[in-house]
């Protein structure tokens, strides 16, 4: 059944409250399966909760998977979308196209397997199996249900040559390598090929960002990780020129580690760790005379970043990590195909239930 | 008396808890007046609370000035700095140099009148007069007390030709016009002279940003304000090519107003309003194919910005408004001296107790 009231390409017609905000800012969405003419309905197979959200839920419930599952189900039922009320973040999903509205723009047909390229925090979602196949202990949530793509929502077909869970894990963070590459290329174009530090270099967005930085022309890359096990892991796959151990929440520790690895502060620092309190270390680790910090962590505090840089008299450009850059999905898939170290880290992560 | 334990140019030695974080992130600072050798002590004459912080306090206490004053005093006494626990922000101060440590870098001598160029949220502060001269109804707080500048803290002398309260009001927001001008110049250098929308164009950072955008080569500027009174005010001083009325928290209202004023989305949108929920409207108001949004509001939600742009498939560069750019103080003073409309708005604001 197709609905006949007017629809908005950005989904305003699905917002139940408060009126007038975009779906991402809404408290509740209409997640009903009947389509407006420009929408597409997806049969959902799996959710991928974003790292900051899953960590918050897991810590809140002390690792009790049943409690985590119950809370995720309650959130989706109440809000009509999966948006962690503490972190504000969501994740994304993989599923199969079930119905395409007559005025939908995306070139999909029923049966296509796709991943969304927008956050679950704005995607209308209904769960029909009570998440009973999920143990609450991993970011990847097998499930049955329906989700809606608006007229302007973007999504990507799962490539034939990649497993669906791998595709979804990559798509969740596809914005990071694309924006990192763009920033590095800008420095290269200005005749200042940059050094690049990636904080959280062994994680999903971090490993992709390291690979993208190198391909885009970084002169030297350093991956920062929080444990010796991750040092060994990241060093073993050869994605970074240097791998260093540091606590990203300790500004002096982090900046000293980067300075020592590179001999100078980094020209570009990419923050990919999902814990709060990394802003000041990242700024201190970065060239205070024209460096750039890209914040991809959903745990980033805007105020801490803005006032921290000012307090340090650091002339650094600070970017909010936009999850969308044109072509980002294909670029990320290509990194997964062509850079062995990236694929090794992703497959290892999936085998371990999504943990970093 | 000079202290003899080691000091840090970024103030780590003044952090009481938690250990290892920078002063901006600290819960409590040692605000004692005795100096380390690289520090400078200021006799404080006046605080300027940042707009987001003052608004939060004033709304919390329903405009009861005595209650606002009591809370500000309690915060400073407990934390050793003025940092609003809800907004995380501070403001800045004006005062007179009282003592200069033997290893201090700044070229000040006792008796110089200065304004700080860093946030109160990281500045050690003791109040000695219980704020008794302040009525709690304005951002400008006359007071007596002491504040500390670290080795790397920046500050500016109050120009001889400008009143101290005017200087302080300008310095509080000096980062905004400097960064706006830098972004506009980058577009001009790329042969794409931009259109610029300033949300909150009649306020302090907004009016300076409008003036800076025009000087830097914007092809057309639009100021967005929330009331007809502000439309008349901003139109009357001639700082913007267009002035439009819109609620910045309403994404459709804001973006439609900007589109109509310019005929297209803005290439650069500058967010200078101190209310939450403006991220999505700003993104929708901006060219989704290469536009830039600069967030100067301390009420900005990092998550809303990052996920909002992704959800809209908007290829916009989003900048965290860094309060520091080299030369920003002198540039802002120069705008105040040379652009009559800016000075008119600032003087009017001061005459009205700091209200927008």
Q: What percent of chain B has pLDDT over 90?
A: 85
Q: Do A22 and B117 touch (CB under 8 A)?
A: no
C-beta separation of A26 from A17 below 8 A: yes
Q: Which residue of A has its CA nearest to B52?
A: A303
Burial pattern B45-82, b for ≥16 Cβ within 10 A else e, equals: bbbbbbbbbbbbbbeebeeeeeebbebbbebbeebbbb
Residues on chain A touching B300 (C-beta within 8 angstroms): 302
Nearest to B22 among A23, A308, A324 (CB): A308
Rounded to whole angstroms, the Cα distance separating B112 from B94 reads 11
Q: Do A318 and B314 touch (CB under 8 A)?
A: no
- Residue A353: is it exposed, middle or buried by C-beta count within 10 angstroms (0-12/13-18/19+)? exposed
- Pick from A212, A197, A211: nearest CA to A246: A197
Q: What percent of chain A has pLDDT over 90?
A: 84
CB pairs under 8 A between A and B: 188
pLDDT at B168: 84
- Among A163-172, B25-34, B236-245, the minimum mean pLDDT is found in A163-172
- Among A202-206, A216-220, B19-23, B257-261, the minimum mean pLDDT is found in B19-23
Residue among B125, B251, B304, B322 with most chain A CBs within 10 A, to mutate: B322
- The answer on pLDDT for A210 being more than 50 is yes
Q: Do A20 and B250 touch (CB under 8 A)?
A: yes
pLDDT at A165: 84
Count Cα atoms within 13 angstroms, Cβ side, for B132. 3
Average pLDDT score over chain A: 94
The bridge status of strand B268-271 relative to strand B195-199 is parallel
Residues on chain A touching B304 (C-beta within 8 angstroms): 24-25, 88
DSSP structural state of residue B315: E
- The answer on pLDDT for B88 being more than 80 is yes
Q: Which two tokens stand for residue A122?
A: 């704005």
Residues on chain B touching A87 (C-beta within 8 angstroms): 303
- Residue B21: is it exposed, middle or buried by C-beta count within 10 angstroms (0-12/13-18/19+)? buried
ipTM: 0.89
pLDDT at A354: 52
Residue among B90, B181, B301, B312 with most chain A CBs within 10 A, to mutate: B312
- The answer on pLDDT for B2 being more than 90 is no
Supply φ then ψ for residue B35, to 5 degrees: -95, 145
Q: Do A319 and B324 touch (CB under 8 A)?
A: no
Q: Do A308 and B24 touch (CB under 8 A)?
A: yes
Q: Do A300 and B302 touch (CB under 8 A)?
A: yes
For the entire predicted model, the pTM comes to 0.90
Residue among A6, A24, A275, A289 with most chain B CBs within 10 A, to mutate: A24
Q: Do B303 and A250 touch (CB under 8 A)?
A: no
Number of Cβ within 10 Å of residue A45's Cβ equals 18
pLDDT tens sequence across B165-191: 888 889 888 999 999 999 999 999 999
pLDDT at B311: 87
- The answer on pLDDT for A6 being more than 60 is yes
Token pair 């009947």: residue: A34
The percent of chain A in helix, strand and coil, each rounded to the nearest 5, is 35, 25, 40
Nearest to B319 among A87, A315, A317 (CB): A317
pLDDT at A355: 41
Residues B92, B97, B101, B106: is their CA dihedral positive or negative?
positive
- The answer on pLDDT for A112 being more than 70 is yes
Contacts of residue B242, Cβ cutoff 8 Å, sequence gap at least 6: B220, B221, B222, B223, B261, B262
Please report which confidence band the pLDDT of residue B307 belongs to, taking 50, 70 and 90 as the band edges. confident
pLDDT at A204: 93
| Mean pLDDT, range B152-168, rounded to an integer | 89
Residues on chain B touching A301 (C-beta within 8 angstroms): 88, 302
Contacts of residue B174, Cβ cutoff 8 Å, sequence gap at least 6: B117, B208, B323, B328, B329, B331, B332
- Residue B1: is it exposed, middle or buried by C-beta count within 10 angstroms (0-12/13-18/19+)? exposed
Nearest to A324 among B154, B301, B310 (CB): B310
Q: Do B22 and A280 touch (CB under 8 A)?
A: yes
Residue among A123, A251, A300, A311 with most chain B CBs within 10 A, to mutate: A311
Q: Do B320 and A320 touch (CB under 8 A)?
A: yes
pLDDT at A1: 62
pLDDT at B353: 61
Q: Which residue of A has its CA nearest to B277?
A: A25
Number of Cβ within 10 Å of residue A62's Cβ equals 8
Average pLDDT score over chain B: 94
Residues on chain A touching B256 (C-beta within 8 angstroms): none
Supply φ then ψ for residue B60, to 5 degrees: -60, -40
Residues on chain A touching B302 (C-beta within 8 angstroms): 295, 298, 300-302, 305, 320
pLDDT tens sequence across A235-281: 999 999 999 999 999 999 999 999 999 999 999 999 999 888 999 99
Rounded to whole angstroms, the Cα distance separating B110 from A148 reads 66
The strand pairing partners of B40, in sequence order, are B100, B149
pLDDT at A96: 97
pLDDT at B355: 41
pLDDT tens sequence across B33-57: 999 999 999 999 999 998 889 999 9
Q: Distance from B181 to chain A by nearest Cα, in Å?
A: 14
Q: Do B315 and A302 touch (CB under 8 A)?
A: no
Q: Which two tokens stand for residue A125?
A: 């979602």
| Mean pLDDT, range B300-326, rounded to an integer | 92
- Pick from B127, B71, B52, B118: nearest CA to B354: B52
C-beta separation of B301 from A87 below 8 A: no
Rounded to whole angstroms, the Cα distance separating B144 from B140 reads 13
Please report which confidence band the pLDDT of residue A351 belongs to, taking 50, 70 and 90 as the band edges. confident
| Mean pLDDT, range B221-237, rounded to an integer | 97
Q: Do B313 and A321 touch (CB under 8 A)?
A: no
Rounded to whole angstroms, the Cα distance separating A317 from A294 reads 8
Q: Do B315 and A303 touch (CB under 8 A)?
A: no
Residue among B122, B306, B332 with most chain A CBs within 10 A, to mutate: B306
Q: Distance from A236 to chain B by nearest Cα, in Å?
A: 31
Nearest to A24 among B307, B315, B316 (CB): B307
Please report which confidence band the pLDDT of residue B115 belongs to, taking 50, 70 and 90 as the band edges. very high
Nearest to A298 among B24, B303, B309 (CB): B303
Count Cα atoms within 13 angstroms, Cβ side, for B262. 28
The strand pairing partners of A293, in sequence order, are A269, A318
Number of Cβ within 10 Å of residue B99's Cβ equals 17
């Amino acid at each position: 059944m197709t609905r006949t009231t007017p629809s908005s390409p950005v989904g305003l017609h699905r917002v139940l409250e408060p009126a007038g905000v975009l779906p991402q800012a809404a408290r509740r969405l209409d997640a009903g399966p009947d389509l407006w003419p420009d929408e597409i309905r997806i049969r959902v197979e799996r959710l991928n909760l974003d790292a900051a959200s899953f960590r918050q839920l897991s810590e809140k419930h002390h690792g009790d998977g049943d409690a985590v599952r119950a809370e995720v189900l309650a959130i989706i039922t109440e809000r009509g979308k999966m948006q962690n009320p503490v972190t504000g973040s969501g994740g994304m999903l993989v599923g199969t196209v079930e119905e395409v509205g007559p005025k939908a723009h995306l070139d999909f047909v029923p049966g296509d397997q796709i991943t969304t390229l927008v956050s679950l925090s704005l995607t209308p979602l209904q769960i029909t199996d009570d998440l009973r196949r999920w143990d609450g202990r991993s970011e990847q949530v097998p499930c049955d249900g329906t989700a809606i793509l608006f007229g302007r929502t973007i999504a990507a077909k799962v490539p034939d040559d990649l497993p669906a869970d791998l595709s979804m894990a990559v798509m969740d963070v596809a914005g990071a390598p694309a924006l990192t590459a763009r920033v590095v290329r800008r420095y290269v174009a200005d005749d200042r090929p940059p050094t690049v530090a990636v904080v959280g270099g062994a994680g999903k967005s971090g490993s992709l960002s390291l690979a993208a930085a190198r391909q885009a022309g970084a002169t030297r890359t350093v991956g920062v990780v929080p444990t010796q096990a991750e040092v060994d892991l990241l060093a073993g796959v050869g994605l970074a020129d240097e791998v260093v151990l540091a606590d990203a929440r300790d500004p002096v520790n982090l900046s000293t580690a980067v300075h020592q690895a590179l001999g100078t502060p980094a020209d570009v620092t990419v923050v990919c760790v999902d814990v709060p309190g990394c802003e000041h270390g990242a700024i201190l680790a970065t060239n205070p005379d024209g460096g750039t910090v890209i914040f991809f962590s959903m745990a980033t505090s805007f105020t801490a970043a803005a006032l921290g840089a000012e307090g340090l008299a650091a002339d650094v450009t600070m970017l909010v990590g936009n999850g969308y850059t044109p072509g980002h999905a294909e670029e990320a898939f290509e990194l997964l195909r062509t850079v062995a170290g990236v694929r090794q880290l992703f497959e290892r992560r999936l085998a371990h239930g999504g943990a970093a």
